[in-house]
A and B are shown apart, each in its own frame.
Chain A
């Protein structure tokens, strides 16, 4: 809320249907766009285009706008990021975007600078990062920790503990808040690079995944689908 106050002090909000009655899209300096486009919805695409035509800088805010988001899991539906339809000038990933990154990005935008994101994965700054990340002594067969062995706090790398964590193929920048609370990474910050599919293939080829998890479609493309996707069992 502090940053919203600062934004209200420095900028005029000219279009925000959530809080303003203004319906038409006026000329503006910065547009922050949330949400994905579902099934190429024509009204949404036209809306995006009208924003792009009238705005100097367009930023995709959040993982839905940046990668398609959770609706990517919807069977029979196509959730696309906004850059599928218009050119963007940057994005702030996360579901939700982490407060630190959001504040930094807002300040940079107010100063007329580009948004800066790390291109490293979450493991690079994770306090549970293990040595020998490519050696696993136990199969990975769980998606949540401790259901049969309650622990006060996760002390070792989830992957080493047999629990699927998407940290290795997820961009850092969230301060590993879920991991610090004992919950493995779901990957909501999105991929650290454009080569997500090959990264995921490499990552999963290293892991001793159980057959059940190997077939599980809930995790790998949870926050965005690649443009070409092989059919997998639901």
Chain B
């Protein structure tokens, strides 16, 4: 048995793809992340008012989601409800984060692959920048707008400081609210034509076999049909099984569906082993969390979706839909912001609940922080459920199935590797987040 490990390029962080060969036959292909930072261990024993600031450092891209999931877990432990204004502020911050994260992935990592698959024109970065100046300009502007929204509503462009247990660290003033409104409108204006063209391209193309999946369950934090709530903050954990049936569970009952055991590559789930589990924009769209209001756009998404709904390449299109619709929802939310004092709640001296769960939809999917209360206002046991880690077993399954099929067709190993990396990239894996596994317990 030989193992051949290649660096996986154009992803967020350092990871590899491992090709296991026996007697000249490709046996398995795995996505490997082999540096573990141990954020559960870092958070354990920390003061519960300090934890969100530390949790934000788990990732430079989804820093706000990490901080807000952490804040919500502690609020659940303390029995504290943040005000509507604080929740609205968090929603706008999460929108800025999503715009920046999705557009960076789409432009730098996804677009060259989309061009190769849909138009048979592989692109390098230099060609992308030089041959597509207007497109490049619009993508850079979207990234900057996302950053500016994060700065206004997070206090900094990365590692937000506004989420605080019980509310928010500071108040956003009318001048910043008005400026952010303009930013969000601009995000919609710039992203829409790119999205229209992309959806048309997908509609005109045949689904690419490399990215097809089957027997997959989809998981997302989603509101029940007809129930109002803030996108990516509210709702139940919803799971759609391959049969099409949907089950919904209250957020603090998440361990009925997914749980962790030390040393596992992914997570244990209550699903049959043959079923893959997927989180992210595909799951949000599937479960109705990601809704499109505009009729023309809704029709365009539906047309392309009908051909590509079981194909990971379409995740790129849904990321742009997410950008456009998140800006739309953040615009609505802005109107509910009011100028309250910085913190909204009195924090109890002792947590009334032994544990708390905080769940949000990060750009890459469902993110869960689960903390047990420890002594002296410190955190006890900490469990983190990270979207990329939830997706890893499915990534491995798709890699192995497809690469073995391509090898059977006689494709050269270099070509198989090129296509394997493209499969991985569609999931938008974030290695900073994924490399969190605990390897040390006191």
Contact = CB atoms under 8 A, between A and B. Distances in A.
A68 to B, nearest CB: 11
Given A70-B57, A181-B161, A218-B47, A1 B440 contact: no
Interface stretch (B10-18, B181-189, B262-270, B391-399): B10-18
Interface in A55-103: 69-71, 73-77, 95-96, 99
B57 A152 contact: no
A217 B76 CA distance: 25
Nearest to A178: B161
Contact of A183 (B44, B47, B155, B165): B155
Contacts of A177: 155-156
Interface in B220-267: none
Nearest to A146: B343
A99 B157 CA distance: 9
B9 A22 contact: yes
Nearest to A151: B342
Interface string B316-333: 000000000000000000
Contacts of B288: none
B37 A153 contact: no
Nearest to A62: B60
A38 B37 contact: yes
Contacts, number: 141
- Mostly, the A contact residues are loop
Contacts of A4: 140
A126 to B, nearest CB: 16
A44 interface: yes
A65 to B, nearest CB: 13
B45 interface: yes
A201 interface: no
Interface in B116-174: 124-126, 129, 140-141, 143-144, 147, 155-159, 161-162, 164-166, 169-171
B213 interface: no
Nearest to B144: A1
A212 B376 contact: yes
Contact of B125 (A19, A71, A99, A186): A19
A152 B140 contact: no
Contacts of A150: 341-344
Contacts of A8: 129
Nearest to B38: A74
B41 A75 contact: yes
A73 B47 CA distance: 13
Contact of A76 (B9, B161, B439): B439
B10 A21 contact: yes
- Mostly, the B contact residues are loop
A18 B341 contact: no
A19 B109 contact: yes
Contact of A218 (B46, B166, B439): B46
A224 to B, nearest CB: 13
Contacts of A5: 140
B9 A17 contact: yes
A38 B169 contact: no
B347 interface: yes
A20 B124 contact: yes
A144 interface: yes
- A interface residue count range (under 10 / 10 to 19 / 20 to 34 / 35 or more): 35 or more
A163 to B, nearest CB: 11
A181 B124 CA distance: 41
Nearest to B42: A73
B169 A181 contact: yes
A1 B157 contact: no
A177 B170 CA distance: 12
A49 B32 CA distance: 23
Contacts of B342: 146, 150-153, 182
A23 interface: yes
B271 interface: no
Given A18-B108, A23-B7, A77 B37 contact: yes
Interface in B26-69: 35-39, 41-42, 44-47, 49-50, 53-54, 57, 60
A2 B225 CA distance: 43
A143 interface: yes
Contacts of A151: 341-342
A133 interface: no
Contacts of B126: 12
A180 B155 CA distance: 9
Interface in A127-176: 143-144, 146-148, 150-153
A203 interface: no
A173 B124 CA distance: 36
Given A17-B9, A74-B41, A75-B442, A147 B343 contact: yes
Interface in A1-58: 1-2, 4-5, 8, 12-13, 17-23, 38, 41, 44
Nearest to B162: A181
A41 B37 CA distance: 12
A38 B440 CA distance: 14
A204 interface: no
B10 A18 contact: yes
B210 to A, nearest CB: 17
B335 interface: no
Contacts of A77: 37-38, 41, 439-440
B32 to A, nearest CB: 11
A186 B42 contact: no
A100 B169 CA distance: 23
24 contacts: A1-B147, A5-B140, A17-B7, A18-B10, A18-B108, A38-B37, A70-B42, A71-B37, A73-B42, A74-B440, A75-B41, A75-B440, A96-B157, A143-B50, A147-B49, A147-B343, A153-B342, A178-B161, A181-B155, A181-B161, A182-B342, A218-B54, A219-B50, A234-B442
A-B pairs, 9 with minimum CB distance: A76-B440, A96-B158, A70-B57, A234-B45, A74-B38, A181-B155, A19-B108, A150-B341, A73-B42
